[in-house]
Amino acid sequence: MSSTAQGARARARMEVTAAIKDEARRQLAAEGAAKLSLRAVARELGMVSSALYRYFPSRDDLLTALIIDAYDSLGESAEAAHADAADAGPVQRWTAVAEAVRAWGLRHPHEYALIYGSPVPGYTAPDTTVPPASRVGLLFIGIVRDAHQGSGLSELPPLSGELRPEAERMAADLAPDLPPATVVALAGAWAQLFGLVGFELFGQFHRVVEDREPFFRHAVTRLAQGVGLE
């Protein structure tokens, strides 16, 4: 058993794994995550369903793989856009990442729905999804951190007493070098960005916002200002 044979085996395994996920993604688009079925994937690939279990031990594991791939694909797009804007100001970097998120969502609406839409009934995501899911958020934290260190970050109004304990816990967990009020604003802006993208993708802007690109650019610029960037 030569090493090239082993390499070939490993390569074949990766190719089949990729084919399974590709087909599963097609079903995701056609039928939704709730109806994702290992049997249907197998049938479409000319395999027998039991053969799939050599690659994914269960339907939920296949779902998890699709979710992680989606988060990673989004994260990669966002990181690439951020890298392209590395020399620009913090607001430009912020909007570059936000626009990359929107563009990815428009290109992959069903995968967007998988990760930011309704939970799949009966499925709970394992902790392995957390790091890929964090990539976009970490970019925003980095942008704000750079502005803070370069003193390009304005101070935010003081927090109410009821929010202070949670704000300090959040800051300690997510970005100990940033002011708690900034971390709270960041978490809010992060959620609000996906509110904008989700409303566009899921049809809520129908007949409300039609020319969405300038609208979105404007909204995310104001989000950047809301966390103290200028």
User: Contact between 118 and a second copy (CB under 8 A)?
Assistant: yes
13 or 206: whose CB is closer to DNA? 13
Minimum distance, C-beta of residue 40 to a second copy, in the bound complex (Å): 14
Within positions 135 to 154, which residues make up the interface with a second copy, using CB under 8 A?
A: 137
Contact 106, 201 (CB under 8 A): yes
Neighbour count for residue 211 (Cβ, 10 Å): 7
Contact region for a second copy (CB under 8 A) — 1-9, 40-48, 147-155, 161-169?
161-169
Out of 26, 35, 43, 54, the only residue in the binding site for a second copy (CB under 8 A) is 35
Which residues inside 40-99 make contact with a second copy, applying CB under 8 A?
Answer: none
DSSP string, 25-76: HHHHHHH-GGG--HHHHHHHTT--HHHHTTT-SSHHHHHHHHHHHHHHHHHH
Closer CB to DNA, residue 120 or residue 209?
A: 120
CB of 59 to DNA, least distance (A): 4
What's the Cα-to-Cα distance from 176 to each of 18, 151, 170, rounded to whole Å? 39, 17, 9
CA distances from 101 to 9, 110, 152 (A): 36, 14, 24
- The residue type at 121: P
Task: Provide, rounded to whole angstroms, the least separation between the CB of residue 72 and DNA.
Answer: 23
Q: Which two tokens stand for residue 208?
A: 């409300």
Residue 50 C-beta: closest distance to DNA, Å: 3
> Given candidates 121, 150, 151, 155, which one binds a second copy under the rule CB under 8 A?
121
